[in-house]
Amino acid sequence: MTDSNLETAAHPEKLRRVAIDPVSRVEGHGKVTLLLDENDHVHQVRLHIVEFRGFEKFIQGRPYWEAPVMVQRLCGICPVSHNLAASKAMDMIVGATLTPTAEKVRRLMHYGQILQSHALHFFHLSSPDLLFGFDSDVSKRNIVGIAAAYPDIARQGVLLRKFGQEVIRVTSGKRIHGTGSVPGGVNKNVSVEERNYLLKDIKQIISWCSDSVRIAQQLFEQNLDTYNDFGSFKSHTLNLIRADGAMDLYHGGLRARDMDGNDLFDHYDYAHYWDVIFEDVKPWSYMKFPFLRSLGPETGWYRVGPLTRVTQCDFIPTPMAEQARREFMAFNGGSAAKATLGFHWARMIEMLHAAELIEELLHDADLQGNDLVNLGQRQERGVGVIEAPRGTLIHHYKVDEHDQIVRCNLIVSTTHNNQAMNEAIRQVARQYIDGRKLTEGLLNHIEVAIRAFDPCLSCATHALGKMPLEVELLDCEGASVSTLTRSADGTFS
Amino acid sequence: MAAPILIIAIGNESRGDDALAPLLLRQIDRWLVNKARAEQFELIEEFQLQIEHAMDMVGRELILFIDAGMDTPAPFSFYRIEPNHVRTLFSHALTPEAVIATYGQLYQQCSPPAFVLCVKGEKFDLGSPLSSQAQQNMVLVMGFMEELLHKPRPLAWEERCTQH
């Protein structure tokens, strides 16, 4: 194996190329390429983003109040995250300080989103790998294979997801294109009937979330050596944090720590995020590579998301999730907190936290308040940051005197994790691919590492007939040597 | 009580011809209101199909999924679907076949009869309007849709199935 960092091979012209295109069971379309020599040693590994999002241009010229609704069309999986981040940015534009009712309705919506997204990811996108094995029979390694072998788990996953979606529907007014969150507040409260509708199931939901934490823990315990090492690497971290150091998924200051856990900055006002975060570009990817300015583009990359949030907060402000966090941090001398596959366990802790918060909020009478919108002095710029299911999400807008958006910059969670995902798959390539004959099972190890981050690679279109999976072998001249295609029935030919 | 017929339209209006299904659903809605048939139908618009849509199918007699297609027959195809597990491999989003398979796993029974109406699209770029070809397909498919709505029964719909 080469000693390089595997980002760029020294002599790519002599190597053969393997592409995993697109990466399956992640949102949107990604592609992984590996360059191998004649002895199957790995010289280069890259995660590419195939589709250019282009949303920042799309939104220019629109009136600012449209942004919270328009941005929901960015993504079919996490529209609520974009809706809330844009709403927070527009709160700054209209100079608003939210009323208690507005903030609590938005928080309830956000926790519903966290719950449904984490449930979908764990039960239906990752559990096939985790329960059956990374190189198990590909025809079973999917959601319905889980339903056949573990029917209770599959059913709980569906019902958890459905409950989260119902929280979103109640708070946003619709199943999709919700208009509940608006610049300066919300346009509806939660009625007593709606509250009671959600309350009747919440105890069961919390119980299932608690069970899910145990499942994630057991999977780690049962495969300790693999889980400790699989695609693991050291990185800096970035997340929002509440003023008292608690996990807060909706609002807070920015906390960045280096790979040894030392503070780089803490409680930093995100309204000036560009003073501490910058974005690098690389010629081989449409996705930018954010980095911490103080460390520079080469070494300043970082990791966001559930693993970062659970390990970098001082505590979680709900009792069951806090107990789970303590057990997670103490497990096996802290090994899960450093492992890429620790993402799954951390994600379930956050799901439990979200369920506890939903119950807490449902008992809060402010949800039925009628003071919904607050406006202040109009501003030119607005920045909104939340902790979306996949990690820190930044929306930044500039609005002119005609109320039109003239500039927009989004740094989505998956972009923050761009370099981290590349590091994870390079580590997996070193551990599992290097020097071996490629099989579908080995290639799936690469995908398992990517899926741990739950990336959302930008695409919200899903027309029928799309989404093949093809692995192509090319010779050093770029000519196709052989092609491996995964067909609709899951077999390779 | 659930309406006996469920129509789910899947698409993102901001992505060119991916808007075909949502736009068609609105035409269907107007048609049903004009014909005083709306109470028989529930119409759902979604970006993507997901596991919880299996729960929307409970208590129905007939289900129709409408979606735009790439590289699919023009101007549209219409066919009955059966549960298919393995096509769930490829994305967060499920196929209609996978949703009815999930229904079977959840409720331990066959799903209600389910059909797909797939309207061919050409361009799916962010911010693009509906392509001219998609607009033409839309006119043709609405005429076909009205025939389906006049006789919303599995056997009648099977007789209208096209090759796909």
Question: Model confidence at A267, in pLDDT bands (50, 70, 90)?
Answer: very high
CA angle A443, A393, A281 (to 5 degrees): 60
Task: Look at B15 and A158 and tell me if their CB atoms are within 8 Å.
Answer: no
pLDDT value, residue A50: 57
* A59-to-A28, A54, A172, A177 alpha-carbon distances in Å: 20, 9, 21, 16
Closest CA to A106 of A346, A373, A342: A373
- Position B30, amino acid: R
- The whole-model pTM stands at 0.87
CB A50 within 8 A of CB A31: yes
User: Which of chain B's residues have a Cβ under 8 Å away from the Cβ of A151?
Assistant: 105
What residue in A sits closest to B83 (Cα-Cα)? A144
Q: What is the per-residue pLDDT across A49-83, written as a single tens digit (0 to 9) for each?
A: 655 567 788 889 999 999 998 888 776 678 899 99
Asked casually if ipTM beats, i.e. exceeds, 0.85, the reply is no
Average pLDDT over residues A302-325: 98
Section A330-352 average pLDDT: 97
| A189 pLDDT higher than 90 | yes
Query: Does the CB of B12 have a partner CB in chain A at under 8 Å?
Result: yes
Cβ neighbours of residue B72 closer than 8 Å, sequence gap 6 or more: A464, A465, B118, B120, B164
Q: Measured between CB atoms, which of B10, B70, B105 is closest to A465? A: B70
Q: What is chain B's length? A: 164
Nearest Cα to A109, choosing from A78, A148, A139, A153? A78
Percent of chain A with pLDDT over 90: 60
Write out the H or E segment, with its range, that includes residue A303.
Answer: strand A302-303
- Give the tens place of pLDDT for each residue, B102-137: 898 888 899 999 999 999 998 887 778 899 999 999
Strands, E, within A96-182: which ranges?
Answer: 181-182
How far apart (Å, rounded) are the C-alpha atoms in residues A77 and A23? 16
Sign of CA dihedral B11, B14, B20, B21: positive
Distance separating the N- and C-terminal Cα atoms of chain B:
34
Q: Is B127 on the interface with A (CB under 8 A)?
A: yes
User: Residue B8: which H helix or E strand, with range?
Assistant: strand B5-10
Q: What is the dihedral of CA A29, A35, A39, A42, to 10 degrees?
A: -80
3-state helix, strand, coil in chain A (%, to 5): 45, 20, 30
DSSP state of B123: -
Cβ-contact A316, A247 below 8 angstroms: yes
Distance (Å, whole) CA A302 – CA A265: 13
Q: Give residues with Cβ within 8 angstroms of A175, minimum separation 6.
A: A165, A168, A169, B44, B45, B46
Nearest CA in chain A to B99: A144
Please report residues of B whose CB lies closer than 8 A to that of A149.
none
Q: Which residues of A touch B54 (CB under 8 A)?
A: 158
List phi, psi (to 5°) of A124: -120, -15
Cite the beta strand spans of A115-232 per DSSP E: 181-182, 185-186
CB atoms within 10 A of CB B79: 16
Select the residue of B51, B84, B116 nearest A158 (Cβ to Cβ).
B51
Query: In chain A, which among 42-61 make CB contacts under 8 A with chain B?
Result: 53-55, 57-58
Both tokens of A304, joined, read: 């966001």
User: Given the structure tokens 């109320």, which residue do they identify?
Assistant: A403
- How far apart CA B24 and CA B38 sit, in angstroms, is 15
Classify strands A185-186 and A181-182 as parallel, antiparallel or unpaired. Answer: antiparallel
Q: So what's the pLDDT on residue A26?
A: 43
All residues at 6 or more sequence positions from B113 whose CB lies less than 8 Å from its CB, including other chains: B61, B62, B63, B80, B154, B157
Cβ–Cβ under 8 Å, residues A407 and A426: no
- Judge whether A181 and A90 are in contact, CB under 8 Å: no
The answer to whether the beta carbons of residues B45 and B22 sit under 8 Å apart is yes
Residue reference for tokens 């079973």 = A140
Least trusted range by pLDDT, from A126-130, A277-281, B100-104? A126-130
Question: Measured between alpha carbons, how far is A384 from A260 in angstroms, rounded to an integer?
Answer: 29
pLDDT tens digits, one per residue of B8-29: 999 888 888 989 999 999 999 9
Q: A237 by DSSP, 3-state: which? A: strand
Q: Which residues contact A272 (CB under 8 A, 6 or more apart)?
A: none
Task: Choose among A138, A158, A467: nearest Cβ to B91.
Answer: A467
Reduced to 3 states (helix: H, G, I; strand: E, B; else coil), residue A466 is coil
Residues 168-207 of A with CB under 8 A from B: 175-176
pLDDT band at B50 (very low <50, low <70, confident <90, very high): confident
Q: If you count residue pairs, one on A and one on B, with CB atoms under 8 Å apart, how many are there?
A: 135
Query: Rounded distance, CA A367 to CA A191, Å?
Result: 8
Residues 85-124 of B with CB under 8 A from A: 85-95, 98, 101-102, 105-106, 116, 118, 121, 124
Q: Please, which residues have CB within 8 angstroms of residue A377's CB and are 6 or more apart in sequence?
A: A95
- Please give the residue that has the higher pLDDT: either A305 or A149: A305
